[in-house]
Amino acid sequence: MSIETTTHLNFDGQARAALDFYATVFGGEVASMTYGAMGASQDPAWADRIVWGQVATDAGFRVMAFDVWPDQSYDQGTNAFYVFVHGDDAAEIERSWTLLSEGAEIRQPLGPTPWAPLAGQLRDRFGVVWQLDVAPTE
């Protein structure tokens, strides 16, 4: 089993600029997907906003970022980041989800998504937002 955590930064329209900046600081390449390309929002104002993005280097640095969902409030002090847990074992991710879910606010139920066979997001009983997913099989 493999599991890792990645810092996931949340923005309100600045994710692309932030990712480009972090790539100049740490090296690596920016990979991203827009709300428009994924079909995640029908609002033209959201077409070019980032629904998924990351900078990764061969040395192991990785940071992820996105522009918060259109109906999600954004305050840099309260919704600026979450812990992203990415694994290759669905049973392990489901176990972690079950334990984290106790007393949590479920923001996205754990289930299949366009980007992963299993993904979900919750705010745990301590106020920490977690995004869990299972790596797609190739």
Task: List, for residues 84-94, the tens digit of each pLDDT value.
Answer: 888 888 998 89
Residues 20 and 44 in one domain: yes
Residue 60 maps to a domain: yes
pTM reported for the whole predicted model: 0.65
Residue 75 maps to a domain: no
Total number of domains constituting the chain: 2
Residues 58 and 85 in one domain: no
The more confidently predicted of residues 112 and 68 is 112
For residue 114, the tally of other CB atoms under 10 A from its CB is 11
User: Edge to edge, what strands does the sheet with 129-134 contain?
Assistant: 29-34, 50-56, 62-67, 3-11, 81-87, 129-134, 118-123, 105-111
Model pLDDT, residue 2: 76
* Residue 27 structural domain: 11-66
Residue 56 maps to a domain: yes
Residue 24 maps to a domain: yes
Encode pLDDT of 50-63 as tens digits: 999 999 988 787 88
Q: What is the DSSP string of 57-126?
A: -TTS-EEEEEEPPTTS---TTTSSEEEEEEES-HHHHHHHHHHHHTTPEEEEEEE--SS-SEEEEEE-TT
Residues 90 and 131 in one domain: yes
The amino acid present at 23, given as its one-letter code, is A
Model pLDDT, residue 1: 64
Residues 62 and 26 in one domain: yes
Residue 117 maps to a domain: yes
Burial class (CB in 10 A: 0-12, 13-18, 19+), 33: middle
Residue 2 maps to a domain: no
Q: In whole angstroms, give the CA distance from residue 108 to residue 26.
A: 31
The two beta strands, 62-67 and 105-111, are unpaired
Residues 88 and 34 in one domain: no
